[in-house]
């Protein structure tokens, strides 16, 4: 390859006049340089497109993760409130059952009127003491011995 066969055209070259474009008059370096004014290859375009799609998917996944974690936090708070209300409901049900049992007792007592007998004077006939046998008493002169 001779110096005269290569013509330099705006950072690119032509070999043996395949294309007749205005050449640079006095080049500094004589060599074969790769073409820099080319269109991007299909692989580069696909790679850039896939990078943009991946970036969008990462952003969407971060946003959805935020909403999922926020909804999980809300569900935990609601679950805690449900447990608290259930425990309070059990305590209130026990108190209500206790009050219902007292109400049932009160209604039974009021219906039988058994407490009205305390207002009346109850007269009992006197017990005949003559029919009760006499208990023998211990002799008076009994001496106690303590210790022996």
Q: What residues contact residue 76 under an 8 Å CB cut-off, 6+ apart?
A: none
Banded model confidence at residue 34, pLDDT cuts 50, 70, 90: low
Q: Quick one: pLDDT band at residue 11, thresholds 50, 70, 90?
A: very low
- Among 26-30, 33-37, 64-68, 70-74, name the one with the lowest average pLDDT: 33-37
Cα atoms in the Cβ-side hemisphere of radius 13 Å centred on 70: 6
DSSP letter string over the chain?
A: --GGGEEEETTEEEETTSS--PPPSS-S--S-----S-PPPHHHHHHHHHHHHHHHHHHHHHHHHHHHHHHHHHHHHHHHHHHHHHHHHHHHHHHHHHHHHHHHHHHHHHHHTGGGGGTSPP--PPP-GGGSPPPPPPPTTPPP----
Q: Which residue has the higher pLDDT, 128 or 22?
A: 128
Q: Which two tokens stand for residue 66?
A: 């935020």
User: What ranges do the domains of the chain cover?
Assistant: 1-38
pLDDT, one tens digit per residue, over 120-148 is 666 777 777 777 777 777 666 656 666 55
């Amino acid at each position: 390859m001779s110096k005269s066969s290569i013509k330099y055209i705006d950072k690119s070259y032509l070999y043996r006049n395949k294309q007749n474009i205005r050449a640079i008059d006095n080049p500094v370096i004589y060599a074969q340089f790769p073409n820099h004014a080319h269109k991007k290859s299909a692989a580069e375009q696909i790679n850039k497109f896939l990078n943009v799609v991946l970036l969008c998917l990462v952003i969407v996944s971060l946003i959805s993760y935020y909403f999922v974690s926020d909804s999980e936090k809300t569900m935990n708070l609601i679950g805690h409130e449900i447990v608290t209300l259930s425990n309070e409901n059990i305590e209130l049900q026990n108190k209500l059952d206790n009050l219902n049992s007292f109400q049932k007792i009160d209604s039974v007592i009021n219906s039988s009127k058994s407490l009205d007998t305390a207002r009346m004077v109850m007269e009992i006939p006197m017990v005949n003491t003559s029919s009760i046998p006499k208990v023998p008493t211990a002799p008076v002169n009994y001496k106690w011995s303590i210790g022996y």
